[in-house]
Chain A
């Protein structure tokens, strides 16, 4: 267990005027997940390995490696969210956890992505790794700015 002590999380909370069981469906049914997140072969089964897939682009293979960690229907869902393929070794190793808490008008939706290491944040490592990887996608990104 060499887990670094200094990992950080992204947390987003939002109250939604929908009951937890309905939000749960959107979080756990593959075709519904695809509508708001990405293509996937998710199954709500602990231990199930799956991928999120976006359109590949230069310097990103478009695939996120995941494994289901927690399934507590209508309450809590957790899966790993890792870089894949050749990018896996130096890439992200994070965990995404969804928590649903009933409220008077619906549910509080909490998304936490944890496990960001300091080296993930500024991943350029001088001239070799990182920025060269990312520059390839810039033109495409810039084209969308106009």
Chain B
């Protein structure tokens, strides 16, 4: 099932938070490697620490990461279950079939002519 079909069924925020390649790389790394500090994430990100912190803030707002303070360090971990709206097949197909039934009706109206 194509992604264009999902768009209407999920929040723009979730999409937007993952549309940025750097943010997506950070999120994927947290999913892959588990909890990380901002400092460690910055080493692999190719951008400055403030930029990484800003990206993490966006991901946190979208519910995709959780933070945990420990002393002077903040640790971030992925919350991949937040992606569920993107891959909920039932709502995806509901939206898909509604859209296709609209098109079917359009076709039927044209067949009248």
Q: Are A135 and B18 in contact (CB under 8 A)?
A: yes
Inter-chain contact total with CB atoms closer than 8 Å: 120
Cβ contacts under 8 Å, B105 to chain A:
14, 16
- In the complex, identify which listed stretch (A42-50, A67-75, A138-146) lies at the interface while the others stay far away: A138-146
Q: Chain B: interface residue count, which band? A: 35 or more
Q: Are B94 and A12 in contact (CB under 8 A)?
A: yes
Is B78 an interface residue, CB under 8 A from the partner? yes
Q: Which of these, A22, A37, A142, contacts B19 with CB under 8 Å?
A: A142
Cβ contacts under 8 Å, A134 to chain B:
3, 83, 86-87
Binding site for A on B (CB under 8 A): 1-4, 6-7, 12, 15-16, 18-19, 21, 24, 28, 31-32, 78, 80-81, 83-84, 86-90, 93-94, 97-98, 100-101, 103-108, 111-112
Residues of A in contact, count (CB < 8 Å): 44
Among A10, A109, A139, chain B packs the most CB atoms within 10 A around the CB of A10
Is A88 an interface residue, CB under 8 A from the partner? no
